[in-house]
Amino acid sequence: MNANGFNRQLFVRRAALIIYDILAVAASSALGLLMRFDMSYSELVNTVDSNVWIDNIWDYMPVSIISTIILFYFFHMYQSLWVYAGVPEMGALIGACLSSGTAQFIGMQLIMKHGMPRSYYFMYTMWLIILVAISRFAYRLFRTFVQKRTENARNVNVMVIGAGEAGNSLIREMNTSKYIQKAVCCVIDDNPAKMGAYIHGVKVVGGRYDIIEAVGRYNIDEIIVALPTAPKKDVREILDICQETKCDLKTLPGIYQLVNGEVSVSQLRKVDVTDLLGRDPVQIDIDSIMGYVKGKTVLVTGGGGTIGSELCRQIVTHQPKLLIIFDIYENNAYDIQQELRMKYPGFCTDHLLVLIGSVRNTARVEDVFEKYHPDIVYHAAAHKHVPLMEISPNEAIKNNVMGTWKVCEAALKYRSEKFVLISTDKAVNPTNIMGATKRICEMIVQSYDKKGETSFVAVRFGNVLGSSGSVIPLFNKQIEAGGPVTVTDPRIIRYFMTIPEAVSLVLQAGAYAKGGEIFVLDMGEPVKILDLAKNLIRLSGFVPGEDIEIKFTGLRPGEKLYEEMLMDEEGLQETPNKLIHIGKPIDMDVDRFFDSLSELNIESKKEKADVRVWIKDLVPTYEYTPGTGMYSNGKNE
């Protein structure tokens, strides 16, 4: 294309099509009349009216050509990319030729003194369709032929799972693209009606239970799962089967996610471990979140952490008056600040504030609340690593418990509307310091809810996939290092959720909050950590136990075989979101609780003291063995 926007190649192509169509109109007219006499020219010329009919054709030819070219233009016969032509283009082609035949019938009846045989118009239209189709589809047919001839040269054999629209579009693109050196050898689909059928020349060879056999028969190197709308449970079962094949696995995202509904090979991604959880994502009511966040000053403590930073990402989209990111770790705070500035430069200029400070610092917390009077507080600042907190219990108390206490006191004093604590399933019948401190935090929140107009709530969820310190990044690092992958116990199970799901729960809990509730997510079936490790090894292209060893290290101090979401005393209430439930507040002696909390504060500052005794007093469900831990008898055991 030159500077004036002239595309020479496009002009030449369209001019060639127009010239071809002029010849096609002339040829169709002649063939239509000749076919009336069984393709016998001698029989035609011996007919009484033959000269009249031949004269009619040639006399009307200019009108026929001009009207046909105009009709073809309006049917986009010169604008379509015929190399990608499909059913819609074929429909337009037939419509254009039928219109041309109809126009010729009407025109000849009006202009010519003597009409043509009625069968002529049908024969003309039929030949025009054939000749025009040849011009439009010849290149594609030729390229398909060449592709079949060169298919053996492609170095990757592919199996596509899913014979729906996504699979159809994917196979078509892979077969026609000259840039993809992959051959689709077979298709898998559970629908019995599709068994034995062909999609773009590729056979549907069976259902999910035929995958392993088909992989061997067709020497498959790569499996692409094209099931964007299938239930997560079905996808998980299929992926479990695929992992036994040692093939490279990829999945196709939902068509609704892609521009104009087009499925592209470029959208293929590696199978993610989240695909194996077997649960559909939690849906939230965006309108309810918008209603209580929009135009408000929002404070996120620990705003640079995994949960805190995702909270900030989602809150920004709901148009708060001011978003305050408060974190002790300047690098984390800086990272999320720069990310938000790049994505939302207009918003961040006047509506984003990043402050460095610790929730353990009473004066700093007081200063932030006094200056900015946050309407909504999301308290995500905490120490969360279970093994590390077991050997540094005093730090867990100072940061988790006392930090929460200070932020709650400030929120109450400066009349924040809502306070939302980020809690954990480890707070239920805790066997470790981290879980016990989080249970005390929940008790603080429920106690403060009775003191004033601020609504204090907690949100309790399980393990977050991909968060810093979680099992997935650890497994990935171990696999990259060649193993072994360490699992504490083959029986250990955990509930999992994604980071966006966890944050969605937190946001919607704030919308539902009336005060004193503990919100709990229904996270579906728990996952065995051993299965998770095996799946991740397979997804990385290795065989568990052969290429990468799995080593069992034994339960760590304070670690459970399974986590619980509710304590026995807590009832369960539904919310408008059926996957979010509410644990009822537990009755407690508030005055005695705060007296014990003050004692715990004092004892935690005595670095030699074993604070587990005071924690047990505050949390009767906390289970531990006296005399164990870092500070028993002043020794590190």
Active site residues: 426
CB 457 within 8 A of CB 509: yes
CB 225 within 8 A of CB 253: no
Type of residue at 158: V
**Which of these, 200, 212, 279, 274, lies nearest to 243 by C-alpha position?**
212
Indicate the pairing of strand 527-528 with strand 493-494: antiparallel
Q: How far apart are CA 2 and CA 8, in angstroms?
A: 8
End-to-end CA distance of the chain: 77
DSSP assignment of 427-492: GSS--SHHHHHHHHHHHHHHHHTTTSSSEEEEEEE-EEET-TTSHHHHHHHHHHTT-PEEES-TT-
**Which of these, 318, 426, 447, 442, lies nearest to 376 by C-alpha position?**
318
DSSP assignment of 99-126: HHHHHHHHHHHHH-SS---HHHHHHHHH
| 579 three-state secondary structure | coil
Q: How far apart are CA 218 and CA 183, in angstroms?
A: 11
Q: How far apart are CA 185 and CA 160, in angstroms?
A: 8
* CB burial of residue 486 (10 Å; 0-12, 13-18, 19+): middle
Q: How far apart are CA 435 and CA 414, in angstroms?
A: 29
Q: How far apart are CA 399 and CA 395, in angstroms?
A: 6
**Token pair belonging to 518:** 């503990």
Sign of the torsion angle spanned by Cα atoms 166, 167, 172, 178: positive
Q: How far apart are CA 212 and CA 218, in angstroms?
A: 10
Indicate the pairing of strand 572-574 with strand 550-552: unpaired
Q: At what angle do helices 118-150 and 87-111 cross, to 10 degrees?
A: 160
Give CA torsion, residues 344, 313, 414, 588, to 10 deg: 170
The CA angle 571-577-583, to the nearest 5 degrees, is 15
CB 450 within 8 A of CB 419: no
Q: How far apart are CA 35 and CA 585, in angstroms?
A: 89
- Residues ≥6 apart with Cβ < 8 Å to 554: 488, 489
Determine which helix (DSSP H) or strand (DSSP E) holds 320, and give its type and residue range.
none
CB 209 within 8 A of CB 241: yes
Helix ranges (DSSP H) in 344-425: 345-351, 362-372, 386-391, 393-396, 403-413
Give CA torsion, residues 168, 171, 175, 177, to 10 deg: 100
Place of tokens 């398909």: 144
Q: How far apart are CA 619 and CA 450, in angstroms?
A: 20
Residue 53 C-beta-side C-alpha neighbours within 13 Å: 21
